[in-house]
Chains A and B, each alone.
Chain A
Amino acid sequence: MATPYYIPESNVPLPPKDADVITTACDYCIVACGYKVYRWPVAGNKNGGASADTNAFGEDFPVAPLGPWVAPNQHNVVLHKGEPHHVVIIPDKDTKYVNTDGDSSLRGGCIAQKCYNPQTPTRDRLKTPMMRIYGILQPVPWEFALDVAAEVGKHVIKKHGDNAYGVKTFSYQYIENTYAISKYALRHINTANFTFHDTPSDVSSTPGFRDAGFDNFGPSYEDWMNAETLFICGTDPYETKTILWTQWIMKGIQNGQKAILMVPRRTAGVAYAEENGGLWLDVTPGTDLLVVNAIARTIVENGWEDSEWIKKWVNDKWGSSSGFGQGTRNTPWQWRTTWGKFQTKGFKDWKKWLLAQDEFKVENAAKVAGVDAKKIRTAAEWLAKPQGGKRPKTSIMIEKGFYWSNNTGNTQAISALGIICGAGGRPGQVIGRAGGHQRGGQRGGKYPRNKSPMKLPGRRRRALDTDTWTMSGHTRLAHVIGTTWIQSMCGSQVLAQRFEELTVANPHQVRSYDKQDIIDTLKARADSGGMVVVNQDIYLVDPIGNRYADIIFPAATWGEETFMRANGERRLRLYNKFYDAPGDAKPDWWIIAQLAKRMGFDGFDWKNSNDVAEEASRFSRGSRKDFHMIKVAAHREGKTLHQKLGEFGTNGIQGPVFMKDDGSLMGTKRLHDTQRKLDPNGPQGANMYNKKLTHFNSQTGRCNIQKSPWSLFSDYWEWLNPKGDELWATSGRTNERWQSGFDDRRRPYVVQRWPENYVEIHPDDAKSRGIESGDMVMVYSDRVPSLKETIVGVEGADYSFSGQMKNGNVELTRAAVTGVAHVTRHIKKGVIYMDFLHPEQPANAIEGRIVDWISGNYNYKMGVAKVKKIGESAYKRTFRSMSWAPRDII
């Protein structure tokens, strides 16, 4: 139905037989479905017809279910070599991997809407560099903007030190760009004031996995399907990794897989699993560790653990300690594994510890977590109880709801559970992350941890917390690349206030037409204790670009440049350019190269993105997406790396990639593949074998089974635990806008579905507050804890929430976010859920700005808030937008 946002079509142009066909993969989520772009000129009106011999699909319309139907949202008009072209972008119906049935989500399905077209809401793409002059961002030429940025950058580094130049960047938006950015920031500027879009400091997202020896992305998608019991923590893959669910897990469930999902919302995937004999563990935010350890306790009490596996693949006393005798022990995983808090002498020692903790008794854990004790016992049986002398093939999947709730504790606990269930290292028996964004990171430099002034007890230097550092006024130039920074961090309203003070409220503002004058003004800003902001993005982001940036660089992105990237099973694909970038927008690697050359750095003379990829390849050696051998093969055959990878089309190839004796390339189905036979003579030619191919990522190649004390987190949890009429306030994203937020406000159908942020609230909680679906509510808190300084403390006990409270380092701040109430049965009572990254109503403002003491990550999913009705939204009495139906209809 027509709406102010979206007018449905009743027909669509079809590509003609001779349309260009270009392969790519989706720009959005970790799954990275394969896509085909059909492109043909607008001039001449040579559209395809409904009969098979007149269209590019070779199919008669109407097509069969699952066929190459073109929804109007899959069509757009773009410029290609300056001429208008139609593009139809649909999932590849012929691909052999990932989206095997030619399936796609709504997000990727409508990716054609992402393409720049001035007749659509994409018209506000950044097209030219801009500079804030007299308070207004005004277009300026590239030379002008780059010269100013480089001069100010050089000055800041010289006068205030390397760490005064902050780089906050996406970690995923293509290998060529992340390589260039990290080469610039880490190898050349060598700043410790560097981190990625999703964390305040450059640290491991899953410390427990790191310590146990598990790679985040070891499994292959078929492993998730072939597991007999699949324990999914902190995500509903139907809502998020959609095609991983519909093409793999759902088929597994149809084949008898028992799926256990531990999340506070009963969304469609949870409901489907339950309908088909699965289990929902409706956990209270932050209590996952208790449930996991109660399951583990049940397993060991009954002797259901995989003893043979443990004997062969788990470190004993000697293995646990080996390799730690010398050196500074100055890496985070070494502190954790040798600290005494986590390290064990092997399985028996761990078991003894587990059984000694009363909070892990099933009844006790069930009470705190708000999960039925019977369900915990059932989960334990499914995960580990042998049936007819045969163990179930068990796999474990985790994601943000889990590892961003009690980052270190949860990931330690689940690793130990995985180990005793025999998960990891065998087909259908794996452990890993489900994933968020795609894997497009390739480091071009090493993080200089020794330059971080942030310390933990002893000589332990933790990666610099860029939020606290900036709050303290130490960042004099913030170079922000493809992230909102502010809304995506915790307690973000306080962070925004500080940005305001340091930038636009500083007296040194550009009020001049003269380049040198402008440079001098911005230098004076930095010298006065203020901050200059340089922002690189595809749209003008509010507030980082719109309100605070001094210089804006317009970036070219997906489809506008040829790039490489890997997905959640390490599958590398080439993302081909198929249309012209808007205006003068340039890829990030190019922007960085121009800036680097002006800063006086060498090694930035790339001519095109393939040059960058070829330079990056050797730095990928030994990594999970090692693509070096693709380059070796390419050069043997007189091709470029991009050309060679392009030959693999949407099927791609799974990293690490090896070359066989005959010169052909071979991928890697799974990491830690204990059944894989490598060449007994070792790697041949330029091939390189890493331990994790057939063993685990630990000092011995066997897993470390570690303790996961609740006490390291329980003081925070108990302090946070809702008081009075507070509710747990957690957040995430719905399927319709998961990993596509940077485009969603320009995708009319998504804006129609979700015009504003929403607040899911249980009917009982809503009733007692007089709230109905469609009411506008205020979500607010006087208890958003925030650290004043990074950490104030000396003794071990200081390094805890209560220790910091006692030392006066915790400040209670306030936050308020509005949203539209959605009263629904699918959310657990006592919990509200919002979109964490809605740009106008950023729910992360509510979440505690307290980093995990041990890892340095935020626990983004942990906050409390009060909710009150402030009126009715426009959606309550109209029918165009939103829906009050629950998300668990099966």
Chain B
Amino acid sequence: MTTLTTEALAKTDPALPQDKPAVKSKGHGKCLMNRRQFLLTSSAATATATVMVMINPGTPHAQQVPAVVASYPRKFIANLSELKQDEPVDFTYPDDGAYSESMIVKMGEAAGGGIGPNRDVVAFNYACTHQGGDLSGSYKADTKSLGACPLHLSTYDLTRHGILISGQAYQSLPQVLLELEGDKIYAVGVFGLIFGRADNLQG
């Protein structure tokens, strides 16, 4: 089946509205047209819906094509008050499938995408974005980093959205987007494609 995500369409087709839902999906009562909305929406489990969207609207090539719309689950990860500095806590996200292993850590240092009063709590996927090496257990408190990957030694800076410090990876380490509600921390999305997958939500 031919599939296009509405997200991809929104990015490549400037004719599509960026902030307003274009069509309605069954899952949420609205179709999510950009990543911000994508990630701000909450649901208990991954919801996938196929909807028809218009590509090339207003041109002779206009056609209806099916699009897969999926959203990330909102998953409880930890209580902020229970996180100890520089002691990572592992969890799985966005599902329990391959390469869902992730970690959350309070680093004691403000970080990009960090939550909490000191913006120092961040979460990342554990699969090296080079060749899929397992980064679990490689957190370094002194450099606030993950790695070196046991396969080819890539290292990632957790204060800077998982950017590659040194090594071979093809992109930053996927960062798990967090939300804080009272003391409760929820995972609500992932920035960057998780190793091994063709789509984050089809693990």
Contacts and interface: CB of A to CB of B under 8 A. Distances in A.
Interface in B187-201: 190-201
A734 B162 CA distance: 18
A816 interface: no
B102 interface: no
B108 interface: no
B70 to A, nearest CB: 9
Interface in B35-91: 35, 65
Contacts of B160: 879-883
A752 B163 contact: yes
Contact of A72 (B131, B175, B193): B193
A4 B170 CA distance: 18
A59 to B, nearest CB: 10
Nearest to B199: A11
Given A12-B193, A71-B129, A62 B98 contact: yes
Nearest to A72: B193
Interface stretch (A101-109, A410-418, A501-509, A798-806): A101-109
B17 interface: no
Interface in B152-184: 152-153, 155, 157, 159-172, 174-175
B151 interface: yes
A74 B170 contact: yes
A451 interface: no
Contacts of B198: 11-14, 50, 61-62, 70
A886 B143 CA distance: 8
B165 A106 contact: no
A2 interface: yes
B168 A105 contact: yes
Contacts of A879: 111-113, 159-161
Contact of A1 (B167, B170, B175): B175
A365 B38 CA distance: 63
Given A883-B163, A889-B145, A45 B2 contact: yes
Given A47-B2, A885-B144, A61 B197 contact: yes
A109 B161 contact: no
A1 B2 contact: no
Nearest to A62: B196
Given A883-B157, A885-B155, A885-B165, A65 B193 contact: no
Contact of A65 (B3, B7, B133): B133
A890 B143 contact: no
A560 interface: no
Interface residues of A, number: 62
Contacts of A106: 130, 164, 167-170
B203 A62 contact: yes
Nearest to A44: B2
B65 A45 contact: yes
Q: Which of B4, B65, B131 has the most CB of A within 10 A?
A: B131
A663 interface: no
Contacts of B172: 1, 8, 749
B31 interface: no
A758 interface: no
Given A2-B35, A64-B132, A106-B164, A73 B157 contact: no
Nearest to B128: A65
A46 interface: yes
Contacts of A878: 112
Contacts of B144: 885
A885 B125 CA distance: 19
A57 to B, nearest CB: 11
Interface string B129-152: 111111000001001110110011
A870 to B, nearest CB: 23
B18 interface: no
A356 interface: no
A717 to B, nearest CB: 30
B145 A885 contact: yes
B189 to A, nearest CB: 9
A887 interface: yes
A820 to B, nearest CB: 13
A753 interface: yes
Contacts of B200: 10-11
Interface of A: 1-3, 7-14, 45-47, 50, 61-67, 69-74, 101, 103-106, 109-110, 119, 238-239, 242, 246, 250, 267-268, 272, 734-736, 749, 752-753, 878-887, 889-890
Given A8-B171, A65-B127, 14 more contacts: A8-B172, A11-B193, A61-B202, A62-B97, A65-B196, A67-B132, A69-B131, A69-B132, A109-B130, A119-B12, A250-B152, A881-B163, A885-B157, A887-B155
25 contacts: A1-B191, A9-B192, A10-B191, A11-B197, A13-B198, A46-B2, A62-B203, A63-B132, A103-B152, A106-B164, A106-B168, A106-B169, A106-B170, A109-B168, A246-B153, A736-B164, A880-B160, A882-B163, A885-B143, A886-B143, A886-B165, A887-B166, A889-B143, A889-B147, A889-B165
Interface of B: 2-5, 7-8, 11-12, 35, 65, 97-99, 111-113, 127, 129-134, 140, 143-145, 147-148, 151-153, 155, 157, 159-172, 174-175, 190-203
